[in-house]
Amino acid sequence: MKNRALSEATWILGTLAAGWLISLAFMPELSIVFAALLLFTVNFFRNPERVPAGDGNIAVSAADGVVTTIDEVEEEEFLKKKVRRIGIFLSVFDVHVNRTPIEGEVTHSEPKPGLFLDARNPKSSILNQSRSWVFTGPAGTVMVKQITGAIARRICPWAVVGDQLKRGERFGMIRFGSRTEIFLAMDSEILVKLGDRVRGGETPVARLNGAQ
């Protein structure tokens, strides 16, 4: 899936490239704007390689960004129990490819329609368009929710139910600024704190205690 992220931007890059070429011929000053947008888009859809830290009981971050939430919630849609939640805000400058926190099988993947509130708004977790994923493996069961934002309005799933994924493997992305949440068993040891900057597929965020 190395080039999958860039393929999600095909029409965007094509439109900007066309605008740059046309403006270069007729409005050179405007071509600078198109060139800047083109470079920004290529950078946004970057998809770097990552190596997960720690052993198989360590859950790594599902996204790049800043930890804005660490709390306990009743997850009533899929896990149907009280869990620990880590919320990560992704700015437009962060990598937006999402990666699996643990090794295991995709046992659930479901989109949910909704609004497009600013992803920094706590209500976005409940009200915004989102997609929930459940991963089940030797280390336990972890849920990840991809949440759109005011700018990010499309979630691009790359995996399907039944896929066996390695820890840190790519499973999808969100286009432009957004929010990603990780739901973990209550006995998980949280390894990050509010304000920490994390890297998807690499930064340890919790230590799990086996299948739940």
**Contacts of residue 64, Cβ cutoff 8 Å, sequence gap at least 6:** 88, 90, 94, 95, 96, 198, 199, 200
Strand runs labelled E in the chain = 58-60, 65-75, 81-90, 97-99, 104-112, 130-137, 140-147, 155-157, 164-165, 170-174, 178-184, 189-190, 197-198, 204-207
Which 3 state secondary structure label does DSSP give 127? helix
Neighbour tally for 158: CB within 10 Å: 16
Closest CA to 96 of 174, 197, 199: 174
Reading the block at residue 47, the tokens are 């998809």
Active-site residues: which are they? Answer: 178
Closest CA to 140 of 164, 88, 105: 105
Which 3 state secondary structure label does DSSP give 145? strand
